[in-house]
Amino acid sequence: MSEQRPTLAELRQRIDKIDQDIHQLINQRAVCAQQVAEVKKAEDPTIKSFYRPEREAQVLQMVMQRNQGPLAGETVARLFREIMSACLALESPLNIAFLGPNGTFTHAAALKHFGHAALTQPLATIDEVFREVEAGSVNYGVVPVENSSEGVVNHTLDCFMASSLKIIGEVELRIHQNLLVAKGTQIKHISRIYSHQQSLAQCRKWLDAHFPKVERVAVSSNAEAARMVKSEWHSAAIAGETAAELYDLTILHANIEDNPNNTTRFLIIGTEEVPASGDDKTSLIVAAHNEAGALYHILEPFYRHNISLTRIETRPAQNDIWSYVFFIDFEGHQQQPHVKVVLDEIKARVREMRILGSYPKAVL
């Protein structure tokens, strides 16, 4: 510990000076954002929203790349999201519908993606979110699409089949698992641990280390597990914080998942197509011919052109009970030449193909 260490007063003076500079720059940024809006209005007097998903993604990508710390890149990117959200709201705040109620993960996803200057509106069903975006009464909608503990949210996929909306972005949220017990249950009494099979798997190493001899019972969902332990003093459940609140359980251990990068995924839906940001994904719906090897033929062009698939899901077609449609996500933007080639090839091999959208990969 050297004597040269600055005093508290000196450090606070330094911080005050830095704050002054940050403050000035944030307002300068807001002036530039206003000028951007003017230029765009001059180009297109009917323009409704100045939000450019690809541009926001690029700004955040730059933040993550150049970050030197000590703050984490994600932390700084989150601050920039709020700065952009505030600058954008100067012109006209975004109206965002999401699958409610308030306080859910989807709400958190909407705020994570659009910042706290956006106006968010909870709706009761995924269909309503689609309808409000289609009707133009909100700018964008946020719906869940993959839930790490319950798999894919099929209802969202079905809505895309009946809608002409585009995917304009994705959000990922980290999800944590917790060991929950009824009030008063002691660790030494636990003889059973309930959870969804996937959650038990996600916490396997932790369970092996801490409860090697306790029986693990797979049930239909984490919420169901939480409900069951409510009345069983010798049992524990693995579930999220929301379930702990809902059933008034005690969190014995928090964040027990083996892989701390356990995430859940949401889609942002809108009416416009998004230009390339430089690091994008594209989502497709494809109705295959009813023949052997149909999926194999669809996937072959991706393989040949070295394009990574990030997800593939199968759903029954809504108008034909014997046929299936595939939801395919892959890396790349539909405007990129090699992606165009692949899309053309696939189109020739299927009954029907619809591009749900190309959009920036989740940065945060």
What is the binding site for a second copy (CB under 8 A)?
A: 1, 5-8, 11-12, 14-16, 18-23, 25-36, 38-40, 42, 55, 59, 62-63, 66-71, 75-76, 78-80, 82-83, 86-87, 89-90, 100-104, 107, 116-117, 122, 124, 242, 245, 248
Does the CA dihedral 134-135-139-142 come out positive or negative?
A: negative
Residue with smaller CB distance to a second copy, 12 or 304: 12
Residue with smaller CB distance to a second copy, 6 or 136: 6
CA–CA dist 114, 51 (Å, integer): 10
Residue with smaller CB distance to a second copy, 249 or 294: 249
Paired sense of beta strands 140-147 and 95-99, if any: parallel
CB of 279 to a second copy, least distance (A): 17
Neighbours of 349 (CB within 10 A): 15
**3-state SS assignment for residue 303:** helix
Give the chain's count of helices (H) and strands (E): 12, 15
CB of 111 to a second copy, least distance (A): 9
Map tokens 């050297």 to a residue: 2
Contact residues for 89 (Cβ-Cβ < 8 A; gap 6+): 117, 118
Residue with smaller CB distance to a second copy, 87 or 284: 87
| Residue 179 buriedness (CB in 10 A; 0-12 / 13-18 / 19+) | buried
Closest CA to 139 of 166, 112, 157, 161: 166
Residue with smaller CB distance to a second copy, 86 or 341: 86
CA–CA dist 283, 267 (Å, integer): 11
Residue with smaller CB distance to a second copy, 99 or 200: 99
CB of 30 to a second copy, least distance (A): 5
CB of 190 to a second copy, least distance (A): 22
Give the pair of three-digit tokens for residue 92: 């006209």
CB of 171 to a second copy, least distance (A): 15
CB of 231 to a second copy, least distance (A): 18
